Amino acid sequence: MTERMVTSGTARLWSEDHGDPGAPPVLLISGDCQSALFWPDEVVTALVGGGFHVIRYDHRDTGRSTHRDFAANPYTFDDLTADAIAVLDAWDVGAAHVVAFSMGAGLAQLLAVDHPHRMLSQTLICTHALGIDFADNVARALAGEPSRDGLPLPESRVFEALELHAGPSADRSAELDRRVEGWRIMAGDAFDPAEFRRREERVIDHTGTLHQSIAHGYVTEGIATRGADLARITAPTLVVQAPLDPISPPPHGRHLAESIPGAALVEIPGMGHALTGAALDALLPAILAHLRR
């Protein structure tokens, strides 16, 4: 494993790689407000064992990457997409398989549309299509209003329970309790609190602070108007639908897969908006099969 700091505009991004640099590259893109360590080591180990060179990185405002006040230093989804390109450039990767989760899978869609030569394939996990106005959907869910597009809204209980705008807890144990409870709400079946407590322990150690940035929640530009562009995607695409996902509930995955030419859809039974150990047992073989195709 090698660590590398990457410059993207005015941001510095922490990244690391695993496996043989000569093997086919896989770029892991985390969800919103999640560092590289969102991806459990089981994912990295399986991909390296499958013959791939794995790169993961901290989004800006997460982990060991640049942290700034968003109001004074705003950015867009296009900027976050440029961050992914900067990571590929820093690791001398011309094109990669992209495996992405939630907001990261939105960035992957932008990569596939705007930088098709940088993508070998994409795996889009627990997300919605370009063209979906997620910020408006959240507002509608909290207000008890119906969806504009006929697709289900996120479940308001998620945002109410997580108290997205609350600061960090007073001590490490309380902060871990808060984060684990947040994952419990999102994770679906077979949730193991000890598993997620261990993961969040590592995230806090990696970041060096109890504070968990919510900056990505303020990013609104770059996705909601791009729906028609999905028809131009040529990268082989696997869409993963989690039937118990409270953020992008079914049939968001099917809608996304039907919007991308030739995309395949797989549903992972019992999965919510999290990478539980139980979900990985079914998810990892599906990802590896897609990458090998």
Using CA atoms, how far residue 218 sits from 50, 66, 134, 135, 277, in Å, is 37, 16, 11, 9, 30
Q: Which residues contact 143 (CB under 8 A, 6 or more apart)?
A: none
Q: Which of 126-140, 209-223, 277-291 has the highest average model confidence (pLDDT)? A: 277-291
Of the listed ranges 68-72, 121-125, 229-233, the one predicted with least confidence: 68-72
Question: Any idea where the domains of the chain sit in the sequence?
Answer: 2-292
Q: Note if 92 is an active site residue.
A: no
Helices marked H in the chain: 41-49, 77-90, 103-114, 134-143, 156-162, 172-186, 193-207, 252-259, 277-292
Single out the catalytic residue among 8, 15, 65, 102: 102
For position 159, what pLDDT does the model report? 79
Domain spanning 2-292: CATH 3.50.50.60: no
Angle of helix 103-114 relative to helix 77-90, nearest 10 degrees? 70
Closest CA to 199 of 122, 105, 102, 280: 280
Single out the catalytic residue among 53, 67, 273, 290: 273
Summarize the confidence of residues 223-227 as an average pLDDT. Answer: 92
Q: Taking a C-beta distance cutoff of 8 angstroms, is the pair 57, 104 a contact?
A: no
Q: Note if 206 is an active site residue.
A: no
For position 123, what pLDDT does the model report? 98
Pairwise pLDDT comparison (58 vs 1), residue with the higher score: 58
Single out the catalytic residue among 15, 59, 245, 290: 245
Q: Note if 245 is an active site residue.
A: yes
**pLDDT of 28 over the 80 cut:** yes
pLDDT tens sequence across 142-184: 888 999 889 999 998 887 766 544 566 779 999 999 999 999 9
**pLDDT of 4 over the 50 cut:** yes
User: What average pLDDT does the chain have?
Assistant: 94
Strand, coil or helix: 48 = helix
Question: How is 200-265 classified by DSSP, letter by letter?
Answer: HHHHHHHHTSS----GGGG--SSSTT-GGGGGG--S-EEEEE-TT-SSS-TTHHHHHHHHSTT-EE
pTM of the shown model: 0.96
